[in-house]
Structure 1
Amino acid sequence: MRVEVKAGDGRLLVAEVWGAPHGLPVLLHHGTPGSRLGTALRDITEHYPDIRFFAYDRPGYGDSERCPGRTVADAAHDSAAVADALGVETFAVVGRSGGGPHALACAALLPERVTGTAALVSLAPWDGAGLDWFAGMTPHNAEHYALAVRDPEALERRLTPRAAAICRDPGRLLEELRADLAEADLPVLSDHLVHQVILDNYREALRTSVYGWLDDSLAFCRPWGFDPGSIPGRVLLWRGSEDAFSPLGHFRWLAGHIEHSTAVIKPGAGHFAAQYAQPEALDWLL
């Protein structure tokens, strides 16, 4: 069910809620680019009938209004606003890929409300002490984020026509990424359930503008606004051993700095295998 929520500053946020109306609440943070429609496979409620899932489009995606200059930390305030609107006091959090940093923001900044956190194939902070942020990153992603740092306006000019083309044909983004995909990702993307969710996800994410994608990219490449090392609760970190998009150095940095973390590397899995890791994360959280 689609729900419209007002953020603390009056911005519109579009959320989705599904599953058991009185079940245990779990907030799902989508990837980059992404939307609330790409946070879980369609059969998730069959496997977890006692969970109330909710998700929202970050500012600039879908119909959620843009918040220029937003930081990763701002996701905690928006998440709290969505939870408040739904009458949810405490909840678990799962973030995949670009949603990972935003899930960690909730863990750090909403410690009284977040019962546990899973960050799947997440990036680490831009200013992480001792972290070579670009090491191990695919050439495509390294170029993308380097441009975000060097010339945000040029990145916007580059992404705008690309986003419009992907919205018309969401499969285009998968084709663009194919050169950087691990071999292990190919069977995952050929799974009909996964493929359809990804297409719906990209189409909704970029339906109205490029700003969600742009602002996510800029937020990752500036101070996040919180220290993952301050997270008091338990955190699951998950990564596929063959992941070509989420660098191993980022995973190790997070595991080394989050005190109550459980770090899992899945042998033979790529980046998109995180779609299949969600049940593992939910089992761990519950």
Structure 2
Amino acid sequence: MTSLDVRLADGRLLRAYDTGPVDPAGSTGPASPDGRADAAGGPVLMWHHGSPQTGAPLAPVVAAAAARGIRVISYARPSYGGSSPLPDRDVGSAADDAVAVADAFGVDTFHAMGASGGGPHALAGAARHPDRVTAVVTLAGLAPFTERFDWFAGMRAPGGLRAAREGRAARARYAETDEFDPEQFLPVDFAALDGAWSDLGADVGRAARWGDDGLIDDDVAFAKPWGFELGEIAVPVLVVQGEGDRVVPRTHASWNLAHLPEATLWMRLDDGHVSVLGVVPDALDWLLAR
């Protein structure tokens, strides 16, 4: 995997990652002229990381993608993993950032997949750049804030998002005393973190090097208007949700399903917020069929 600091027109830097073109055997090869596929015909996936993480694609994502001949690119959102801050950013700002990263790697069109905090940002690209993003998968992703349903209901620890509704200063104050509540996760979530998805927990630990600003800005962006409407997204979207999720409850998936023009829901009855990521290989197959 290679990393690259992408310089944007506004002077910011984004730390970006690229596994390089692959074939199903996992070997590298030259990119095709249009940037979409490698020499074996495999597509490109833009991975949108959760909150907080470094931006590097997680090992299980890379492995599942390589087995299918899929090239993975990703980047750290502002204030994460070496990327420059973007004060007052909204979710929609990720669309232009993602396209800038794709351009830097010579990629034209791509699929997008985001987990947890990455889900809304994956949708942003489809809303603003439907000519570049061909299909989207969100895993345990939030819905836009609305008062038309109880957005916080079912969240075990909504304090950070409630503070974010009051603005960045309030969210930053909350971060000074915030502690992880293990009751957010089901036993199957901890089993996933101890097993196949151990790289997720390790990456969260690595993300601590850059402090809390990325997470604070994510929460503020989630809790205010996103800068686009779900109804603007014309590409196919797969919404994947764990029935037992105590971080992002199922009501968020139901709202997204009802408001996305071309959406499919996979409700995982036995999964929580982390264990639902076990569906990534199947979700990649869904993208390949689009």
Fold shared, TM-score > 0.5 on shorter chain? yes
TM-score, normalised by the number of residues in structure 2: 0.87
The answer to which structure, 1 or 2, has the higher relative contact order (CA under 8 A, 6+ apart) is 1
Q: Which structure dedicates a bigger proportion of its chain to helix?
A: 1
Distance apart, 1:38 and its partner CA: 4.9
Structure 1: 4+ residue segments shifted above 3 A: none
User: Deviations 1:81-138 (Å, cap 9, x if unpaired)?
Assistant: 00111111100000010000000111111101111110111100013x6232112222
Amino acid at match of 1:148: A
Q: Is the partner of 2:187 in helix, strand or coil?
A: coil
Calculate the aligned-residue CA RMSD, in Å.
Answer: 1.8
| Residue 47 in structure 1 maps to residue 51 in structure 2 | no
| Residue 133 in structure 1 maps to residue 151 in structure 2 | yes
Change (3 A) 1:40 1:105: farther
Q: Is the partner of 1:43 in helix, strand or coil?
A: helix
| Alignment-derived partner of residue 184 in structure 1 | 188
Q: Is the partner of 1:184 in helix, strand or coil?
A: helix
TM-score, normalised by the number of residues in structure 1: 0.88
Q: Is the partner of 1:5 in helix, strand or coil?
A: strand
| Residue 145 in structure 1 maps to residue 167 in structure 2 | no
- What residue ranges of structure 1 are gaps of 5+ in the alignment? 163-172
Amino acid at match of 1:135: A
Match among 212, 215, 238 for residue 213 of structure 1 = 215
Distance apart, 1:157 and its partner CA: 3.3
Report the more deviating stretch, 147-156 or 79-88: 147-156
Amino acid at match of 1:157: R
| Alignment-derived partner of residue 170 in structure 1 | none
Report the more deviating stretch, 201-210 or 101-110: 201-210
| Contact preservation (8 Å) 2:17, 2:57 | no
For this pair of structures, how many residues does the alignment match? 268
Distance apart, 1:147 and its partner CA: 1.1
| Contact preservation (8 Å) 1:37, 1:204 | no
| Residue 11 in structure 1 maps to residue 15 in structure 2 | no
Give aligned-pair identity as a percent: 37
User: Deviations 1:234-259 (Å, cap 9, x if unpaired)?
Assistant: 00000111111111111100000112
Change (3 A) 1:40 1:232: farther
- What residue ranges of structure 2 are gaps of 5+ in the alignment? 23-28, 32-37
User: Deviations 1:211-266 (Å, cap 9, x if unpaired)?
Assistant: 11110010001000000111111000001111111111111000001121011101
Q: How far apart in 2 are the matches of 1:255 and 1:39?
A: 26
| Residue 110 in structure 1 maps to residue 135 in structure 2 | no
Q: How far apart in 1 are the matches of 2:225 and 2:73?
A: 27
Q: Is the partner of 2:181 in helix, strand or coil?
A: helix
Q: Is the partner of 2:87 in helix, strand or coil?
A: coil
